[in-house]
Amino acid sequence: MEIDYLLRGGFVIDGLSGESAAVKADVAVRDDRIMATGDLSHVDAAKTIDVNGLYVCPGFIDVHSHSDFMLLADGRAEGKICQGITTEINGNCGLSAAPLYGAALEQRENELNDLDIKDRWSTLPEYFALLEKRRFAVNFATLAGHGNLRACAAGYSDRPLSRVQTEDMVVLLRDAMKAGAKGLSTGLVYPPGLYAGTGEIIRLARETAACRGVYTTHMRSEGDRLIESVEEVMEIAAESKIHAHISHLKTSGEKNWKKIDDVFRMIDEAKNRGMSLTCDRYPYIASSTGLDAVLPAWAFEGGNKREIERLKNERRRLQEDILSEHPEASSASFWENVVISSVRRGENEWMQGRNIAEISWRLGKTPFESLFDILVEEDLDAGAIFFFMNEENLKSVLKQPYTMTGTDSSARSFSGITAKGKPHPRGFGSFPRVLGRYVREQGIMTPGEAIYKMCGLPARVFNISRRGILRKDFFADIVVFDPEKVNDTADYDDPFQKPEGIYHVFVNGTPVLLEGETTGALPGRIV
């Protein structure tokens, strides 16, 4: 047997189920496949790696990623591979790499330009061709974003679609699914997704189901209307007969924390009726998205230019509507929980890592004045971190048998064009944080359960063939870590930090991390 790499003496957790135990075994890799597992003491290899006492598992699958543009800018994806991630599912929250033309492209131009991406594309096959030409370190899968479909077909107007526009969306979705998309995603708090009615989503979900895809959603509300939003997910799933996946399940705002048990009850009852439901969650109590997420829905109508006009000319109405939705925003304590994570303009970089209350004090402005001014100055491209969640709820979500781990982050590296700002540490520490803090230290799930929910379960739900399980003839996506040392080190002040205790990572049989150091290899594939 000709072997390229032999991992000798480790404890294998195969990722097949939550009952999988750590079994002492060797693992042999040739080309891009796992050739054998078990007692391979008689086998010689071109390179033998001693992994005695370490866990050897399938490479982790990040079910909620946003690397669609980042991988074109820098394919090294160091923040992901250093935490053991070998496959990403992108195109989440209604935003995908394609289709991308017309109003959809116009809305994303700033982001493309900031990442110095000069190429443009319209369809998913065109994007895939460009990505393969650039090369990248992690495997790439994607969903078709409903926001892209709607923006390409009808722009950013707040109105029901015509029959022709709806059918245009169906054709775009069908083309994306044929090109390899794993399903449909919605972002029902972001324009233009927030303008879509439930019927529109059901129509597209039925088409997705016919193509054997899944439906994932950033729901309409994760706070005051959380229960109603979960009900909508279930209606869409039932009417379209599709597997539904709730993105980053959470309860936002203290008055809503108590709702989590009702959500679990609803999901359990639906599953008992035969409905297929899962979710994902990152292991932190702060969320992160664009700063303008605090604005009322009407502010987004018509696209970025109209939004900026309203931020300049309709501030009283904006403030009144924000206070109507969030009465607590009248207090400085609310704005202490909103931290700027990224800006575009050099003169505003001092704001990164500071909260709106502090920024307002330094500027001599009210929090609302600061909010509106920052968004205008940054041409809306200001990111923020929001501290409105609860640790006990987080743990209760993580330990559910249907919860997978996701970073909700793009693939950044520790240097270069993607190493900017102070992004959420979840992009550098989510998987080791689960394994260290919540498995080893707090014991809310076993290592076997955690690995299954990071590997085998997402591979099954998202139809990722021959990955997620450590087995002969499967692709050699492998992570080796020390269960006694694995931990995250990234934090909100310094997110660009490698985790501890993860030593080796293979993607398609090629090491991208050896002895804790990145190799620079770019063996990722579109899956």
Q: Model confidence over 184-243: pLDDT tens digits?
A: 999 999 999 999 999 999 999 999 999 999 999 999 999 999 999 999 999 999 999 999
Q: Does domain 65-286+388-461 have CATH number 3.40.605.10?
A: no
| Confidence (pLDDT) at 347 | 96
Contact assessment for residue 213 and residue 181, using Cβ atoms and an 8 Å cutoff: yes
> Computed from CA positions of residues 275, 279, 285, 289, in that sequence, does the dihedral angle turn out positive or negative?
negative
Q: What is the DSSP string of 344-404?
A: SSGGGGGGTT-BHHHHHHHHTS-HHHHHHHHHHHTTT--EEEE----HHHHHHHHTSTTEE
- Give me the chain's average pLDDT, please: 97
Indicate the domain borders of the chain: 5-60+469-490+499-518, 65-286+388-461, 291-386
Per DSSP bridges, beta strands 383-386 and 287-290 are antiparallel
* Spatial separation of the C-alpha atoms in residues 138 and 526, rounded to whole Å: 9
Contact assessment for residue 256 and residue 224, using Cβ atoms and an 8 Å cutoff: yes
**Cβ atoms < 10 Å from Cβ of 212:** 12
| Confidence (pLDDT) at 462 | 98
Q: Model confidence over 321-331: pLDDT tens digits?
A: 999 999 999 99
What percent of the chain clears pLDDT 70, i.e. is strictly above it? Answer: 100
| Confidence (pLDDT) at 362 | 97
Q: Model confidence over 120-164: pLDDT tens digits?
A: 999 999 999 999 999 999 999 999 999 999 999 999 999 999 999
Query: 417: number of CA atoms within 13 Å, CB side?
Result: 15
* Spatial separation of the C-alpha atoms in residues 190 and 107, rounded to whole Å: 12
Contact assessment for residue 190 and residue 139, using Cβ atoms and an 8 Å cutoff: no
Q: Model confidence over 428-478: pLDDT tens digits?
A: 999 999 999 999 999 999 999 999 999 999 999 999 999 999 999 999 999
Residues in the chain: 527
Q: Is the pLDDT of residue 1 over 80?
A: no
CA 483 to chain CA centroid, nearest Å: 24
Q: Domain 5-60+469-490+499-518 - what CATH class?
A: mainly beta
pLDDT, mean of residues 65-87: 98
The alpha-helical segments, DSSP class H, found in 455-502 are 456-461
What percent of the chain clears pLDDT 90, i.e. is strictly above it? Answer: 99
Q: Which two tokens stand for residue 108?
A: 């994303």
